[in-house]
Amino acid sequence: MTKRTFLHRAEAPLALNQRAWGIALGLALLLVAFSLAGCTRRNTVSLRIVSAYSGKGVPNATLIFTGSSGSESISSDATGTVSGQVQADRTQVEVEATGYQKAFVQVADLMQLPTTVQLAPLFLGAGTVTSGGHPVSGASVTVWKMTTTTGSTGTFTFEGLAEGTYVGRVMKQGYADTTFDLIVGKDAKVAKVVLQEGQLLPLSSLATLPAYEIMASYHRTLGGEERSFDGRVVKNGSDTLVMSGDPLNPTASLMVRGGTGYVFQSGAYVARGETAAAAAHILQESCEGLLGLPATFSPHLFAIEKQAPVQLLGQACEVWSMSGRFTFEGEAVTATATVTVGTTGTLKGVPVKIVLNARSQSFFDFVYDAVVEVVSVDQAQAAARFPTQ
């Protein structure tokens, strides 16, 4: 009995020691937790990434913040501005963006980050825009997803592009849109873009009229292949009727009514769906395109002379004669055209008649003769042309 009591009393100090050890361990764990909590403190960062060449903000730049506990990243917005929160111990910063050299920043504290970080472009894509030997200022130049404007000397520069070849486009009112290749890289040369003056005559599109009837005749020979059409095209809203031969008893006809395509067979129109509709629209657009063609002739290439006015469609119309040269599918072509243009009301600026003759300078590789004339813009008359169903 005495022995058992002695053992029980001897165990008491051991239990006390275990409790003390547990308390000490708990305090140590708390200290570690508080220490780790201090490491996860986050600081707000705010700075701007700009080009060392132009001073403009660099969009979509990536900033990688690195510290003893790992790394995280933030990207710049469209203006090059970077804003966000970063773990306080990540004081090494790598800045990278497509088309620019990387930059590195290291500080003792994130609060010491500079307000601006500059990136040097790896390459510059440059070019000049001229017309008639003179620089064109204020032209809009687009390459990839970037757009800039030419300066007073007609020059433009792009930065932030990876090495390679890009297709660009130049646009300015009064000039024809022009595409070009911009080569970006170590051995790239300045791109030289030449614009041709745009609309010679301020023509309006015939397609804007709610209804019309066109008499058309054209013949084309190109590389031994011949195409021709002799007939009429009638438009009434979205409906189209294309006829060859006698309008009352056509030798062939295509019709689009309510979006459905029809073919004239055995004295009646038979539905032929999308194929017939597509063919009718191609012929319609060909005739409209011929009437609008003079609007694309460059005055650098064509001479123009005003003739005596004539009466067409019940009004006085201006008449212009044109002659010059252009390139068609790689062939040098000479062309003459007489264009008759409406002057008042809905026909103001609308080409109502064109007579065109074009020949390649080589022996009959390219021949194009056409006469296209608007004979009516009366909507009721156009509607009456469509056969009843």
Question: CA-to-CA distance for 198 and 137, rounded, in angstroms?
Answer: 16
Domain ranges of the chain: 43-119, 124-194, 206-385
- Comparing 235 with 12, the larger pLDDT belongs to 235
What CATH architecture is 206-385?
Clam (2.50)
Section 292-310 average pLDDT: 80
Section 275-285 average pLDDT: 92
**pLDDT on residue 225:** 84
**pLDDT on residue 195:** 87
**pLDDT on residue 33:** 43
**pLDDT on residue 25:** 55
Task: Check if the beta carbon of residue 269 is closer than 8 Å to that of residue 257.
Answer: no
Mean of the per-residue pLDDT values of the chain: 86
Q: Burial code of 82-117, b = ≥16 C-beta within 10 A, e = fewer?
A: beeebbbbbbebbbbbebbeebebeeeebeebeeeb
Name residue, tokens 């970077």: 82
**CATH superfamily assigned to domain 43-119:** Carboxypeptidase-like, regulatory domain (2.60.40.1120)
Section 172-195 average pLDDT: 88
**pLDDT on residue 34:** 42
Percent over 90 (pLDDT), the chain: 61
pLDDT at 362 over 90: no
The CATH number of domain 124-194 is 2.60.40.1120: yes
- Comparing 333 with 235, the larger pLDDT belongs to 235
Question: CA-to-CA distance for 304 and 298, rounded, in angstroms?
Answer: 10
- Window from 94-108, 160-174, 193-207, 350-364 with minimum mean pLDDT: 193-207
Q: What is the pTM of this model?
A: 0.50
Is there a shared CATH topology between the 43-119 domain and the 124-194 domain? yes
Question: CA-to-CA distance for 252 and 236, rounded, in angstroms?
Answer: 19
Section 306-330 average pLDDT: 86
Question: CA-to-CA distance for 166 and 181, rounded, in angstroms?
Answer: 6
116, 323, 333, 368 from 220: Cα distances, Å: 64, 19, 13, 4
pLDDT category of residue 366 using cuts at 50, 70 and 90: confident
Question: CA-to-CA distance for 298 and 195, rounded, in angstroms?
Answer: 10
- Name the range with the highest mean pLDDT among 31-35, 191-195, 267-271, 293-297: 191-195
Q: How does strand 42-51 pair with strand 116-119?
A: parallel
pLDDT at 2 over 60: no
